[in-house]
Amino acid sequence: MDGTVNSFNLLSQLEAILDSHPCLDELGFIHPSQFAALDEEANGSPISKPSHSSNADTYFWSNEHKLGISTLALFPLYGAAKDAFMDSFRRYKMLLDSHGQINESTNVNTLKFSQSHLDIVESEVMRHSRVLVLLSSDFGTAWNSSRKLVILRKQQFPLFMDELLLSTLVLSCASKSERAWSHRRWVIKMIADKCANLQEIVERESGFVKTIAENSKMNYRAWNHRCWLVSYMSHAQVILELQNSREWTVLHVADNSCLHYRTRLLLQMVENLKDNHGPDAFSGAEFHQMWKEELHWNELLIRRYFGREALWLHRRFLSLFLMKHLASSNQDINGRSLCKSSEIDDIFMFINAELKLLDHCTIIPDKAFEDYEAQAVHSASYAMWLAKQMPMPFGIELRNSSLYGTLETSIKKTGKSFLLDSLAENCISIQSLN
């Protein structure tokens, strides 16, 4: 494939395909040998036929909102797109500068010509930058300096929605592109105050992230985007997301991302409780019950899936918040202890339940897999952490229990014997105070 002419021809053909198929939602870079198989598969479908740009059958393939680009075309396409974009963007900035210098004495015809010329170059910038971000998803200048600049100047709602479609196409083949996710968040921020159906967009967005996460394992950037979305969710959506994400968590217990997402949802519920108003508001008692249900569900997963550290880390978050909640409910507005018997009973019930869980998880059968040993280590680390967080008597009770010897052995295996020393020092200081 030679030369400049062929490269810019390919660019024109690709831009024509993108213009004629605005609802493309999946992009792939494929080897030329795969085109025949794609054509055969598509021709067997009664729904539609594959479409090609003229004279480019071996470079582009499009069917049912899917776009394939030959790997042979990537290098020349990128060069042509970058050159075209940089040239049009340079001219666009020059026109913006000259446009800003127009005043009342400027001839009306000159003004119309200037605006018309600006619109043409602006369109070129958007077309070339679109190809550039498809080929190089983290090309920051194309996302930030050009596309955002044009969209902010126009402030047209359809343009914002077009950006969501474009980033969807980009993320279909570059699901961990930080620039694409960041651009998506920027779009949602821009339309948040102008969109009557924001909750519908947020719901679709959460579903989109779920689809990405299913196809791209351990995708931190996708889950981070989903956590960011929570602040735009209604209270009803938060509860629904909490319910619906359980199934995904069960199928991916080793992936901390979904558990971190549940943490974000639970914290949003705390914020909603503080602002307790509106038709879907709920009481502190209902919230407390939901939190206890989350703890119980977490325990079921820990007992079922051995050695999954992510589950133990999630339990730390749940336990710490529950303890703080119980402690705060035991104080008046001046911080004085109220010592309600019901809350004290809750604390001791929680302590006993945790001791039973730890006792179960530290048992290592004679013929055990590595998961059993990992479970014992994680439970021992959790026990030491819990002893530092819980009311003082828990540490003493833990040291005096038959469970302590097993925990001590597991902790020593981790090389964290200092945790045992710290617990011993705390117990000694407590006993001296008494």
Q: Which residues contact 3 (CB under 8 A, 6 or more apart)?
A: none
Q: Which two tokens stand for residue 10?
A: 């390919």
Mean pLDDT of 60-65: 90
Please give the Cα distance from 329 to 343 (Å, whole number).
8
pLDDT tens digit string along 290-333? Answer: 888 999 999 999 999 988 999 999 999 998 888 776 666 544 33
pLDDT tens sequence across 213-262:
988 888 999 999 999 999 999 989 999 999 999 999 999 888 899 999 99
Q: Which two tokens stand for residue 265?
A: 């949802």
| Distance, CA of 153 to CA of 95 (rounded, Å) | 14
Kindly report, residue by residue over 143-169, the tens digit of the pLDDT: 998 999 999 999 999 999 999 999 999
- The tens digit of pLDDT for each residue in 357-382 reads 888 887 777 655 677 888 888 888 88
Q: What is the pTM for the complete model shown?
A: 0.83
Cβ(433)–Cβ(403) below 8 Å: no
Instruction: Encode 66-88 in three state secondary structure.
Output: EEEEEHHHHHHHHHHHHHHHHHH
429: nearest Cα among 395, 384, 379? 395
Which H or E element spans position 173? none
CA distance 134 to 147: 13
Strand partners, 60: 69
Q: What is the mean pLDDT of residues 390-416?
A: 64
